[in-house]
Amino acid sequence: MKNQWFTFLRGKVFVKMEGRLVERVINQLLRAGITIWNVKRAGTETITFYLSLDDVHNFRRAVRTSECKVTFLRGQGVPFLFKRSLKNSGFMIGGLAFFVIVFLLSNMVWDIKIKGASPQTEHSIRKELEEMGVSKGKLQFSLPDVENIQRELSYRMNNITWVGVELQGTTYHFQVVEKNAPEPSESSGLQHIVAKKKAIITQMFVEEGDPQVNVNDYVNKGQLLVSGLIGNEKDPKGVPAKAKILGETWYKSNVDLPLKSQFVVFSGNEKRKHYVGVGSFNIPIWGFGKVEYKESIVEENKKNVRFLKWELPIYYIDKSFKEKEDVERTYTKSEAIDAAKKLAKSNLESTLPEDAEVIGEKILQEKVENGKVRVTIHFKVLENIAVGQPIIQGD
């Protein structure tokens, strides 16, 4: 079996020899060290046999002086297969190129459809998708999976409540639910202005209505600030009171912060490996070698392969190894208090209106127990405390 494979790799020739002295020629070949096999008689003065391709030159020289007629019937083995493939190379290259082109076109993004979004929001979504690399003409292999696209787009777009992402063939479908921001009304109707929380008034900007308090007054929640009834007490006229009342308000925040904490950081080093998978077998095609990182996080992006409208039982895997380190952070008491103050302020600002401003802070209590610093902080905030209250008949 081993000799058969060796002969197939080196090549062999099927030869027909005709003449009165073929037996004598055969003996001469054997004495010259030229190996022939499968010798068969095909007639009274005709024999056929196989000859190694490497011995053809010596064979020609050995039979040149004989009176026998030699015919090379056919060649077999790798050298002849290669020669025949070169003759048909144009057809093979054309067929391969056609397959590759159809394969690439079948796995390319041809369209992006967005439903449920206003024209302005749709334009913003398409712009964000461009920045994320999701656009027409891109190969699906190079794009994140639909879950990552959905998560990243939801993070980038503040004016949508939900977005669904689905890949159907070569088209991405986006279903959008926008936030229903209330339209500011031109007229708020007849109303008073009252305090939405207790505060000390610092500034007043009254557009319409009768002010009932002054700067530096302390007011409670629900207290009347600007009356929507103006004119004669016996015959008052109702108006939609409008005002911006800035007041100093107060908040108390409790923060617990461990003096020692462990967390994961990435070094920035990353190694990628690419595979083509069939069933449960993954064949590496790029990114060979061992991952040398001591600790790493593995992220895998798996894409099914399509050909025209059919989904093949083949998939492409892009696997990334990101080097990570476990870091222990240790605070002194003063550092922990500073970090707790920043954390408390950040948490408070995330709940305040955009025009509100933190103008002061004071630590009411601080203590260390069970490896944690516990801090109670008092914040002073400047914010608009005015809120409308409809005028009820009989007021």
Q: State mean pLDDT over 1-14.
A: 76
Alpha-carbon dihedral 120, 126, 131, 137, rounded to 10 degrees? -160
Question: For residue 17, what are the domain limits?
Answer: 2-83
Task: Count the domains in the chain.
Answer: 4
Query: What is the pTM (predicted TM-score) of this model?
Result: 0.50
Domain C-terminal end among 286, 311, 328: 328
Q: Is residue 161 part of a domain?
A: yes
Q: Is residue 19 part of a domain?
A: yes
d(CA 266, CA 77) in angstroms, rounded, equals 55
Q: State mean pLDDT over 179-207.
A: 79
Is residue 299 domain-shared with residue 367, that is, in the same domain? no
SS3 of 362, please?
strand
Is residue 346 domain-shared with residue 307, that is, in the same domain? no
Q: Tens of pLDDT along 301-331? A: 888 887 877 778 888 888 888 888 888 888 8
Which one, of 168, 137, 167, 135, lies nearest residue 150 by Cα?
A: 167
Q: Give the model's pLDDT for residue 393.
A: 61
Is residue 57 domain-shared with residue 123, that is, in the same domain? no
Looking only at the bridges linking them, the beta strands covering 229-230 and 218-219 are unpaired
Of 179-183, 270-274, 374-378, where does the model show the most confidence? 374-378
Q: Is residue 58 part of a domain?
A: yes
Q: Is residue 168 part of a domain?
A: yes
CATH number at residue 9: 3.30.70.120
Q: Is residue 223 part of a domain?
A: no
Domain C-terminal end among 141, 160, 178: 178
HEC string for 169-208: CCEEEEEEEECCCCCCCCCCCCEEEEECCCEEEEEEEEEE
**Given a cut of 80, is residue 223 above it in pLDDT?**
yes
**Higher per-residue confidence, 300 vs 207:** 207
Q: Give the model's pLDDT for residue 14.
A: 92
Q: Is residue 13 part of a domain?
A: yes
* Whether the Cβ atoms of residue 306 and residue 169 lie closer than 8 Å to each other: yes
Q: State mean pLDDT over 80-92.
A: 77
Q: Is residue 166 part of a domain?
A: yes
Q: State mean pLDDT over 123-150.
A: 88
Q: Give the model's pLDDT for residue 113.
A: 93
**Given a cut of 90, is residue 298 above it in pLDDT?**
no
**Given a cut of 50, is residue 187 above it in pLDDT?**
no
Q: Give the model's pLDDT for residue 184.
A: 46
Q: Give the model's pLDDT for residue 91.
A: 77
Neighbours of 40 (CB within 10 A): 9
d(CA 169, CA 311) in angstroms, rounded, equals 9
Is residue 336 domain-shared with residue 322, that is, in the same domain? no
Q: State mean pLDDT over 39-58.
A: 87
Q: State mean pLDDT over 44-69.
A: 86
Domain C-terminal end among 133, 160, 178: 178
Q: Give the model's pLDDT for residue 394.
A: 54
Rounded mean pLDDT of the chain? 86
Alpha helices per DSSP H over the chain: 2-10, 22-31, 56-63, 78-87, 89-106, 119-132, 146-156, 333-349
CATH number at residue 158: 3.10.20.310
Is residue 79 domain-shared with residue 150, that is, in the same domain? no
* Whether the Cβ atoms of residue 155 and residue 138 lie closer than 8 Å to each other: no
d(CA 175, CA 115) in angstroms, rounded, equals 5
Q: Is residue 101 part of a domain?
A: no
Q: Tens of pLDDT along 154-178? A: 888 888 889 999 988 889 999 999 8
